[in-house]
Amino acid sequence: MSVRVRYAPSPTGSPHVGNLRTAVFDWLAARKYGGQFVARLEDTDRDPARYKPEGIREIEESLKWLGIEPDEWWVTGGPYAPYIQSERLDLYQSAANRLIASGMAYKCFCTEERLAAMRAQQQAQGAPTGYDRACRNMPVEQRRELESRGVPYTVRLAVPLDGVTAYSDLVYGDVTFENRTVDDQVLLKSNGWPTYHLAVVVDDHEMHITHVIRGEDWMPSTPKQVLIYQALEWEQPIWVHIPLTLGHDRKKLSKRHGATQFTEFIRQGYLPEAMFNFLVLLGWSPGDDNREVMTVAEILERFDLSGIGRNPAVFDYDKLRWMNGEHIRRCDHRRLADLCVPFLHEAGLMGAPPTPGERACLERVLPLMVERMHLLSDAPALMAPFFRDPVEPDPTGLRKWLTGADARRRLDMACVLLESDCSDLTEEAAEAVVNRVAEAMGTSRAPVIHTIRVAVTGTTVGAGLFETLRTLGRETVIRRLRRAMEWVVE
């Protein structure tokens, strides 16, 4: 079988990480089994509260950023174009007509007012809400009379009134629904536009989709689609429902848990390979070795649809941050520097593009800071002391290490030694200065190290002091030590 999978987002805003996890699984399945990854824009819901055309660009950017650009989609086209549902309306009308002719669908002339009153009555009686099938057995003469007057109608699926509808799922095995629990779903709206259930079946069939990979929350709608496949005498795809993504409270992931829109994670400074790695592990296991940090190539080598489990996956933000840090440390430093530039520019630390001097500084500093980085957005706070003199130290450093005559003496002695005996500020020379100051003052190295660190960086934490001083250079260190003497509180 030539595997064809599809990702079918709706333009309702920035894509949700749960939806893009499905796209990742789609891409992996296509690459693993030598198939095609198709993306189709499901834009038939034009409710202004939900339809956000600007979301199309974010969908495109997210797929490209993740490195999973589809083989066929509305951007580049393909053999089954168009890949936008609003441009395929004639196909849905044709399928609806076939369903009506076969008796598996019928025209419903109920008004919105009648349907609202029906639902209100059902709720008042504590009964399940659903269409009461008033138009299903309408006499032919009455239907013809309504049609002749041009009364608007929808097309509904005629679900069998008894028996069961069953299908086989690659993750959940054999699944059975009692037909009496399945509503007569609207397939075609009165304006001629399809609902999801009709459009998705028609498009998957026409585009020769072999595997439908989607969240398990779509399982209740699957029997309706199975019935449509059967009525149209089309072969069903292989159903693959993946577990839901939950927050830490075991409820469906939403904004209350933290960032959920994919562009938020890009803005926070996550690497695409880290997001890919993390999303894959939400519901899929690589097997016996329990590896977590993997490259895309390593994941692809191990990937198999049989590795998808049934247990809901918890979106652990702390784990994602940790994993991103691991991928940062694996990242080529030149590429990592390129990725840091937008964040440093936004913080006002360098131009866009950076000057040769700024770029050289970044490449010198990056190896010192990479172990401390969890996000690209950490770069400005970590690297600021290397791009500009501190305006003033943080309050903790000021109170503890820049207070009293001893602090002034440490700074002064360090300056004298750097000016007189240290023409080349290597790490060894910097350490020798600290040792001589400590020895002269009859103290341990710790207070000398902390005082100098606060003086030259403005912070109490950072990379190793001797590496920091070497990277800053002798002239900058002396200038900052002299300036820090003005901060000392007697």
Environment class of 293 (CB within 10 Å of its CB; exposed 0-12, middle 13-18, buried 19+): middle
How many angstroms separate the CA atoms of 450 and 469, rounded?
13
How many angstroms separate the CA atoms of 469 and 477, rounded?
7
3-state secondary structure of 212: strand
How many angstroms separate the CA atoms of 113 and 214, rounded?
34
3-state secondary structure of 423: coil
Enumerate the β-bridge partners of residue 77: 73
Sequence-distant (≥ 6) Cβ neighbours of residue 195 within 8 angstroms? 44, 185, 186, 187, 188, 189
Residue 90 tokens, joined? 């004639």
How many angstroms separate the CA atoms of 265 and 47, rounded?
27
3-state secondary structure of 105: strand
Environment class of 336 (CB within 10 Å of its CB; exposed 0-12, middle 13-18, buried 19+): buried
- How many other C-beta atoms can be found within 10 angstroms of the C-beta atom of residue 431? 16
Find where tokens 């002339």 sit. 109
DSSP tag of 167? E
- Catalytic residue list contains 32: no
- Among 64, 251, 255, 319, which one carries the catalytic annotation? 255
How many angstroms separate the CA atoms of 359 and 254, rounded?
39
Residue 353, preceding bond cis, omega within 30 degrees? yes
Residue 82, preceding bond cis, omega within 30 degrees? yes
Catalytic residue numbers read: 255
